[in-house]
């Protein structure tokens, strides 16, 4: 019996990039686009740092039949409603990996899908949509997957580890999620507000100073939340990411530029919630949350 396909929910740039990488490795991929395409198959053309073309099957939102393996690349605010929409296709043994930015969205899942026990992932790969079927592969990076309470990689992880570049199992996925959250808190909103590439946060002294101040505040909140070890050396990590992705446009900048809602509520907003929970002030993150929210209100 052939292995079950990996379904991909969320067919934006990152979902399509991962679909192409899995397909290139010989893994059967089925896309779950929000709106049904006009063609029977969906074309993907990867350009930029890697090049490949793929023609992949897709299923409409109302399709039936079980989904055994699922990667979710929706925006954080769409995770719960999108999964609820296909909840009839998910069983107790379905493998679901949530790859959204930020934190806090998993708690919104439980009332809708109380038996779901998802895995979580982070990615430092970069991609953005081009014209037509094109996806620009804009940044090499790592993929880290894991499940709370599962320190060793399960058998189903092996094909993903072989297919995806620099893909590893995280024994403590919560720490990895916190590290990614902290880096996003320090980079994404500043690039969105100043409409600049990541590299400008280091090249412009005033912005670099804001990054350093943000890192200090984020580290304080993280320590109160029990994540001091996860955020050790945060400032160095943040500037390393800024230099490594100097030519990239953050997802938050891309969203604002395209008139879309951002994930700031699940990034800086989550950090502000954690600060309040532990009785700590986080004025810098609060100010960024308010500024991005105001920009969203003006364009949406």
Q: What is the pLDDT of residues 195-210, one digit of tens each?
A: 999 999 999 999 999 9
Instruction: Specify whether 180 is catalytic.
Output: yes
Instruction: Tell me the pLDDT tens digit for each residue of 228-275.
Output: 999 999 999 999 999 988 988 899 999 999 999 999 999 999 999 999
Residues 153 and 112 in one domain: yes
Residues 99 and 122 in one domain: yes
Residue 197 tokens read as: 């590439």
**Closest by alpha carbon to 244, among 189, 170, 187, 164?**
187
Name the packing angle between helices 173-194 and 268-277 (round to 10°): 120
Residues 285 and 230 in one domain: yes
Q: Which band of pLDDT confidence, cut at 50, 70 and 90, is reported for residue 127?
A: confident
Query: Once rounded to an integer, what is the mean pLDDT over residues 81-106?
Result: 94
Residues 233 and 141 in one domain: no
Among candidate residues 40, 75, 152, 180, the one labeled active-site is 180
Residues 187 and 155 in one domain: no
- As a whole number, the mean pLDDT across the chain is 94
CA dihedral 197, 201, 207, 210 (to 10 degrees): 120
| Separation between Cα atoms, residue 254 and residue 297, nearest integer Å | 16
Q: Of 68-72, 97-101, 249-253, 261-265, where does mean pLDDT reach its minimum? A: 249-253
* Phi-psi label, residue 170: left if phi above 0, alpha if psi -120 to 50, beta otherwise: beta
pTM: 0.93
- Domain assignment of residue 195, given as a range: 175-299
Name the packing angle between helices 234-244 and 205-224 (round to 10°): 130
Total number of domains in the chain: 2
Residues 141 and 269 in one domain: no
| Separation between Cα atoms, residue 183 and residue 91, nearest integer Å | 34
pLDDT for the residue numbered 162? 96
Query: Once rounded to an integer, what is the mean pLDDT over residues 109-132?
Result: 90
Instruction: Tell me the pLDDT tens digit for each residue of 130-166.
Output: 888 999 998 888 999 999 999 999 999 999 999 999 9
Residues 32 and 141 in one domain: yes
pLDDT for the residue numbered 248? 85
pLDDT for the residue numbered 1? 62
Q: With DSSP H G I counted as helix, E B as strand and the rest as coil, what are the percentages for the chain, rounded to 5?
A: 45, 20, 35
- Among 171, 188, 203, the domain boundary falls at 171
| Separation between Cα atoms, residue 210 and residue 214, nearest integer Å | 6
Strands, sheet with 41-48, edge to edge from the N-terminal-most edge strand: 52-57, 41-48, 134-139, 126-129
Query: Once rounded to an integer, what is the mean pLDDT over residues 209-224?
Result: 98
In sequence order, the β-bridge partners of residue 46 are 52, 135
pLDDT for the residue numbered 36? 79
Q: Which band of pLDDT confidence, cut at 50, 70 and 90, is reported for residue 182?
A: very high
Cβ within 8 Å of residue 60, ≥6 positions away = 36
pLDDT for the residue numbered 300? 61
């Amino acid at each position: 019996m052939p292995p079950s396909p990996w379904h991909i929910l969320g067919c934006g740039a990152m979902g399509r990039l991962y679909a192409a990488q899995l397909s290139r490795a010989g893994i059967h991929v089925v896309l779950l686009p929000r709106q049904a395409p006009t063609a029977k198959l969906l074309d993907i053309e990867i350009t930029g740092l890697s090049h490949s073309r793929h023609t992949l099957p897709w299923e409409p939102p109302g399709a039936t039949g079980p989904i055994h393996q699922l990667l979710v690349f929706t925006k954080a605010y769409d995770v719960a409603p999108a999964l609820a929409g296909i909840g009839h296709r998910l069983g107790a043994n379905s493998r679901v990996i949530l790859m959204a930015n930020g934190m806090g969205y998993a708690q919104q899942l439980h009332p809708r899908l109380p038996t779901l026990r998802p895995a979580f992932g982070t990615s430092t790969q970069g991609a953005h949509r081009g014209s037509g079927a094109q996806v620009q592969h804009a940044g090499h990076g790592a993929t880290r997957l894991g499940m709370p309470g599962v320190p060793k990689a399960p058998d189903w992880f092996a094909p993903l580890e072989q297919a995806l570049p620099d893909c590893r199992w995280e024994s403590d996925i919560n720490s990895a999620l916190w590290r990614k959250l902290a880096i996003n808190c320090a980079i994404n909103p500043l690039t969105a507000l100043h409409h600049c590439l990541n590299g400008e946060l280091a090249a412009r002294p005033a912005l670099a100073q804001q990054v350093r101040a943000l890192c200090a505040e984020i580290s304080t909140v993280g320590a109160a939340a029990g994540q001091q070890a996860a955020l050790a050396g945060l400032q160095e990590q943040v500037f390393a990411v800024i230099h490594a992705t100097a030519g990239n446009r953050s997802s938050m900048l891309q969203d604002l530029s395209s008139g879309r809602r951002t994930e700031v509520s699940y990034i800086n907003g989550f950090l502000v919630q954690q600060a309040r929970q532990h009785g700590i002030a986080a004025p810098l993150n609060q100010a960024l949350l308010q500024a991005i929210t105001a920009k969203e209100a003006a364009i949406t």
